[in-house]
């Protein structure tokens, strides 16, 4: 039986990238409690099949519900692309129709119409997100006149996770993908970073970005969208605890999580991390 008492807002990711989303949300909504879950033991999700990503994401969301969350944000583009709709349509009615799961793709798709003048948009993301065409579908639904082109960036996540984002070696991989997407459609004037790791490559991205092209990083738009969502849905907002707390869970080694999380977090103090098992 799931608890009806107020609880934290859950943020789930396959690894560390969702911490960039959590940071942005906490900046705009510092009053709430948060529970972050990284399925680091089974990351990355990008190359995995739809069925596997759905099953892993389903396990994580259910665990966060069991730990008191009434609202869970999938701070992971792959999970949002491959699992969100099925969980919303099939699982929530069985678990608890009053709980909610939201993703990171739609908030960016909603605002992109205001950010492009040429109506040509690029997506840089993991292979799984590009193959799912989730951004294309969401953007086309909301803005049928926008042309979307996507390019997968397979080496960008390891560059960030191995703390090589500032290294000279990163330049080659960043420039290669930016050149590739601009060659695909030279009229692109806005590029969405469709992976939560990619903002940590921002200095390199800006270095090779053609003049006049905007980079859209998801965090601030996901946070603004969540703020508006809670204002519209008071029944959910009332179920979110408000003690400004944040707790971290990982399916990997907590010490390893602490060390790697410092790359993504702006925390001065050491964070407390708990190990859990999914599945």
Give catalytic residues, as residue numbers.
Answer: 76, 195
Beta-strand ranges (E) seen in the chain are 9-13, 34-38, 71-74, 100-102, 120-125, 147-152, 190-194, 214-217, 246-250, 273-275
Q: How far apart are the first and last CA of the chain?
A: 18
* Cβ atoms of residues 112 and 146 within 8 Å: yes
Gap between the Cα atoms of 45 and 128, Å rounded: 8
DSSP result, 198-211: GGGGHHHHHHHSPT
């Amino acid at each position: 039986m799931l608890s009806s008492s107020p609880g934290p807002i859950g943020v789930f990711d396959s690894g560390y990238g969702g911490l960039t989303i959590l940071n942005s949300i906490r900046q705009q909504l510092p009053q709430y409690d948060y529970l972050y879950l990284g399925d680091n033991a089974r990351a990355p999700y990008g190359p995995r099949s739809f069925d596997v990503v759905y099953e892993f994401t389903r396990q994580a969301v259910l665990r966060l519900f069991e730990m008191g969350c009434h609202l869970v944000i999938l701070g992971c583009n792959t999970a949002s692309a491959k699992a969100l709709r099925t969980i919303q349509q099939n699982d929530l009615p069985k678990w608890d129709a009053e709980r909610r799961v939201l993703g990171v793709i739609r908030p960016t798709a909603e605002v992109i119409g205001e950010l492009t003048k040429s109506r040509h948009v690029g997506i840089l993301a993991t292979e799984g997100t590009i193959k799912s065409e989730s951004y294309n579908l969401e953007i086309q639904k909301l803005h049928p006149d926008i042309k979307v082109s996507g390019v997968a960036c397979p080496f960008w996540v390891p560059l960030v996770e191995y703390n090589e984002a500032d290294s000279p070696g990163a330049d080659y991989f960043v420039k290669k993908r930016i050149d590739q997407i601009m060659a695909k459609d030279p009229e692109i004037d806005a590029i969405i970073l469709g992976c939560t790791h990619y903002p940590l490559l921002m200095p390199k991205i800006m270095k090779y970005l053609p003049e006049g092209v905007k980079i859209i990083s998801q965090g601030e738009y996901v946070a603004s969208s969540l703020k508006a969502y809670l204002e519209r849905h008071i029944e959910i907002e009332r179920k979110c605890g408000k003690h400004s707390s944040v707790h971290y869970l990982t399916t990997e080694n907590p010490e390893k999580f602490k060390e790697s999380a410092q790359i993504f977090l702006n925390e001065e103090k050491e964070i407390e991390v708990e190990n859990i098992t999914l599945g």
